[in-house]
């Protein structure tokens, strides 16, 4: 049996936004249940994100180490960032993030996977790309601020990242999903079978 997620929207009779932040907000909806009763659902409204598994010719993945205040840890992650502009093309956003965070460009791009990070409490959707045929970006490095000013950059063999994830030593969502998806693709139909970089993304429709 093949299973797949399907679109569905239960009726909302009222909605309010008790908090609006710089990039995200909190929304409260009154939702009609199948039995006719109503419940309140609070969730974070998020613009969406992109992330990049950048794989070099030696089978190493580009990772960054960054402080994340909510969890009070420095996490190893893959380059990622917000979709700051409504309707923004996710591929171009991913190329921008790879340049800004790692000063790298890539010639070959594929969609690795699409995920909702925490669908019970947030509508954030993330598209994770695979980038190959890497080279150094031209020009000066992008100027970084705040937490990003302390970022450490490394290239780590894919197998080492898989071991770290399964050992409970690596915890970032995009890193975990991206690395394990890459390992699954390599063990399955291969990287050339992945979706094209401009594949439709119903969760965050975009302009070409």
> Would you call 150 a catalytic residue per the annotation?
no
Annotated active-site residue in 77, 107, 148, 169: 148
**In 10 A of CB 149, how many CB atoms?**
8
Rounded Cα gap, residues 130 and 132, in angstroms? 7
Instruction: Pull the structure tokens for residue 75.
Output: 């996490």
Closest CA to 112 of 160, 47, 50: 50
* Total number of residues shown for the chain: 208
**Interhelix angle 173-187/158-166, nearest 10 degrees:** 120
Active site residues: 148
């Amino acid at each position: 049996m093949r299973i797949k997620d399907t679109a569905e929207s239960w009726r909302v009779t009222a909605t309010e936004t008790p908090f609006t932040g710089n990039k995200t907000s909190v929304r409260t909806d009154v939702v009609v249940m199948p039995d006719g009763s109503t419940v309140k659902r609070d969730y974070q409204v998020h613009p969406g994100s992109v992330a990049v598994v950048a794989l070099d010719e030696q089978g190493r993945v580009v990772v960054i180490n960054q402080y994340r205040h909510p969890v009070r840890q420095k996490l190893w992650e893959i380059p990622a960032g917000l979709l700051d502009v409504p309707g923004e093309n996710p591929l171009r956003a991913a190329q921008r993030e790879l340049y800004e965070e790692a000063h790298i460009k890539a010639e070959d791009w594929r969609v690795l996977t699409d995920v909702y990070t925490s669908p019970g409490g947030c509508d954030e959707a993330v598209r994770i790309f695979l980038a190959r045929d890497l080279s150094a970006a031209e020009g000066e490095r992008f100027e970084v601020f705040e937490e990003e000013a302390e970022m450490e950059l490394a290239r780590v063999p894919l197998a080492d990242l898989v071991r770290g994830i399964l050992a409970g030593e690596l915890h970032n969502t995009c890193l975990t999903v991206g690395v394990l998806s890459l390992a699954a693709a390599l063990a399955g139909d291969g990287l050339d079978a992945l979706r094209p970089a401009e594949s439709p993304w119903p969760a965050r429709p975009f302009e070409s």
